[in-house]
Amino acid sequence: QVQLQESGPGLVKPSETLSLTCTVSGGSITSHYWSWIRQYPGKGLEWIGYIYYSGSTNYNPSLKSRVTISVDTSKKQFSLKLSSVTAADTAVYYCARGVEEVNYWGQGTLVAVSS
Amino acid sequence: QVVLTQSPSASASLGASVKLTCTLSSGHSSYAIAWHQQQPEKGPHYLMKLNNDGSHNKGGGIPDRFSGSSSGAERYLIISSLQSEDEADYYCQTWDTGIQVFGGGTKLTVL
């Protein structure tokens, strides 16, 4: 059974860069697409972007200028960097598998943006 | 770009059946979607992929009580023999030219 686990700071200061890592276990990281999705406190879900194991990426146009997703297949990890954060970036961040239907989700990690 | 519309809330009695609806925006009625369940204080969990012809592929371990169907631009999640643990938020999701899109979610209350 594929399992995904997010890790990273739970608090980030405004204007700084949010960094999260997702570790994949129970399955291969190769031949799959890996996504980052966030959920606002009011419950809406927003797709951030995805990466193929080979390194090709696609980002939400609304976040593209601030987002970088990378992958390290040797560690079975992929990562998210979101720059110049504001309070509006406060959310639960999920890593997930899939470029069409998302068929595996991590448990999520809350990231608050505050000074 | 495709938009998914869901009713904010639904309710049904314990042991009854309920049908939740996800509507695709105009011009996108052929799209497949996925259904996800989010129980309170938990992350979302994949239920199934639902095609425009009503065929669906469920995730591992999803009970037979969960099924899907389609009609035109509408995609349905049908839950039969409702149990208390089915009380959750249900989200539909689709994809279009490399972009993933989510509906606003339906909060299901089991009475």
Given this model, what pLDDT does residue B51 score? Answer: 97
| Structure confidence at residue A42 (pLDDT) | 78
pLDDT in tens, chain A (115 residues): 999 999 999 999 999 999 999 999 999 999 899 999 999 987 889 999 999 999 999 999 999 999 999 999 999 999 999 999 999 999 999 999 998 999 999 999 999 999 9
Residue B98's pLDDT is 85
Question: What pLDDT, on a 0 to 100 scale, did the predictor assign at position B61?
Answer: 94
Greatest Cα pair distance in chain A: 40
Contact flag B46-A58 (C-beta cutoff 8 Å)? no
Q: Which of B99, B106, B110, B111 is nearest to B36 (CA)?
A: B106
From the list B33, B34, B100, which residue is nearest A47 (CB)? Answer: B100
pLDDT at residue A31, as a whole number: 87
| Six token digits for residue A60 | 């939400």
The dihedral over CA atoms of B24, B28, B34, B36, expressed in degrees to the nearest 10, equals: -30
In whole angstroms, give the CA distance from residue B108 to residue B16: 13
Q: Which of B83, B85, B103, B97 is nearest to B33 (CA)?
A: B103
Query: A3 touching B, CB under 8 A?
Result: no
- pLDDT single digits (tens) B3-12: 999 999 999 9
Place of tokens 């249900």: B90
The Cα–Cα gap between A46 and B16 comes to 32
* pLDDT < 50 positions in chain B: none
Which of A61, A100, A105 has the CB atom closest to B95's CB atom? A100
Residues of chain B contacting residue A102, judged by C-beta atoms under 8 Å apart: 34, 36, 44, 46, 93, 100
d(CA B72, CA B52) in angstroms, rounded, equals 8
**pLDDT by residue (tens digit) across A1-32?**
999 999 999 999 999 999 999 999 999 999 89
